[in-house]
A and B are shown apart, each in its own frame.
Chain A
Amino acid sequence: DAGVIQSPRHEVTEMGQEVTLRCKPISGHNSLFWYRQTMMRGLELLIYFNNNVPIDDSGMPEDRFSAKMPNASFSTLKIQPSEPRDSAVYFCASSSDSGYYEQYFGPGTRLTVT
């Protein structure tokens, strides 16, 4: 199993540009999570899906952030327009349960907005 796959691994963009992060969860997992990690705020859950349906998006910072999961094997996190304060490492994780069991993390996307 390839594990959780994220792309790109690194993204550098200018303020105001649209950024799309992609995630492929582990096959057979029905829950997918998007996290953001910074030194200041630690690891924050942005949104999670169960069976492709968004369950909790209370962590999404503002309307500039949106996430979709069109099918069980793909999810995107979009930031439009991006701002320097969005610079962080974004992780995707998947699980075979909605959150009571272990999560498997991808390698992350390091986003830098200049």
Chain B
Amino acid sequence: SQQGEEDPQALSIQEGENATMNCSYKTSINNLQWYRQNSGRGLVHLILIRSNEREKHSGRLRVTLDTSKKSSSLLITASRAADTASYFCAIPRGKLIFGQGTELSVKP
């Protein structure tokens, strides 16, 4: 499969805790992107990390990329109930290929 595969499929945590989601892929990449989808909404682009970058931050989000292991992780620190959503990684292969997503539930 060319798509990214997220792990875990579902994650339930308490507000204030950190959430970590992982994405593995099988081919070489130019960049890797993370998206969030709230229930009933379209996907929203969160962050793009290029193949020559190892780590990138955006607010409470931290993304790492290990091209040798063909994996990426998304860390959400100090989670909030509003972070409850599905999170997808996507890799460009002429078009974006999305994984199946991780469903994150943050309980207040």
A-B contact count (CB 8 A): 48
Q: B-side binding surface: helix, strand, loop or mixed?
A: strand
Q: A43-B88, A99-B92, A102-B33 are in contact. Are A107 and B41 (CB under 8 A)?
A: yes
Interface string of B30-43 (1 = CB under 8 A from A): 11010000000111
Contacts of B95 in A (CB 8 A): 33, 45, 48, 55-56, 98-99
* Total contacting residues, chain B, CB less than 8 A: 19
- Provide the bound-state CA to CA distance between A103 and B36, in Å: 12
Contacts of A100 in B (CB 8 A): 30-31, 92
Give the residues from 82 to 114 in chain A that come closer than 8 angstroms, CB to CB, to chain B: 91, 93, 98-108
Q: Are A56 and B42 in contact (CB under 8 A)?
A: no
- Provide the bound-state CA to CA distance between A101 and B90, in Å: 10
Chain A: CB-nearest residue to B31: A100
Contacts of B44 in A (CB 8 A): 105
Measured CB to CB, the residues of A under 8 A from B are 4, 33, 42-43, 45, 48, 55-56, 91, 93, 98-108
Measured CB to CB, the residues of B under 8 A from A are 30-31, 33, 41-45, 48, 88, 92-98, 100-101
List 17 interface pairs A-B (beta carbons < 8 Å), by A numbering. Answer: A4-B42, A42-B101, A43-B88, A43-B98, A45-B95, A45-B96, A48-B95, A56-B95, A91-B42, A91-B43, A98-B94, A98-B95, A99-B94, A99-B96, A100-B30, A101-B31, A103-B43
